[in-house]
Copies of this chain bind each other. A is one copy, B any other.
Amino acid sequence: MDSKQELIIERAIQRFAHFGIQKTTMNEIADDLAMSKPSVYYYFPDKTSLIIAVVERIINEYLDRLSKIFEQSESISKSLEAMLELRIEFLERYFMLHLEDNTEQSLCREDVRSSIIQIRSNEINLLAGLLEKGKEQGLLSVSDSNHTAELFINTLTGIAMWVFSEQKKQLIPDMASFQSLLNKQKEISGIFLKGISCPDSDSGEQITRK
């Protein structure tokens, strides 16, 4: 059975994802759970700590999914593709939290930021692991897996920021925008992979150019 803390986090996620962090009050979360605000504050000393708990929950869920993808990796390119799709899934689901751009003020506080950066670094580690594996199998040619993984992920984030900055009229981008972003990321990913592959090897299946 879920503890009170868990219930609070889950409700907070729901409201944050729908209305955004700023537009969600501690009172609303308390009311949702038919409890009083001081009760919520009994479990979380302040809103910031709740925000951090929510963000960590979300990112950890993403990381779990990602690590499973990488475990059952049949090829590097397939893994990357699945990773991109997973990223888009989470990006869409939690868009209102603005975990990738630095729009959301609540996430720009130094304590929250450092928490996010710290937990996010695991994504780089996981990807670096995949690259390292590819390296050992003689499929990839990278000197610093961690560095390359970081570069790749930052590129993905950059493209996302660029796509969304192009059309920031809408509060939430439409499905087509996410699809378009995914396509761009897949293209980049394909070129990137070919760029770091060993000339004499297929990384999984042949990487075909558009």
Contact = CB atoms under 8 A, between A and B. Distances in A.
Interface of A: 101-102, 141-144, 147, 151, 154-155, 157-163, 165-166, 168, 184, 187-188, 190-196, 199, 209-210
Contacts of A168: 102
Contact of A210 (B102, B143, B158, B210): B143
Quickly give the copy total for this chain: 2
A159 B155 contact: yes
A210 B147 contact: yes
A102 B166 contact: yes
Contacts of A193: 195
Contacts of A160: 158
A142 B188 CA distance: 13
B195 A141 contact: no
A154 B162 contact: yes
Contacts of A194: 194-196
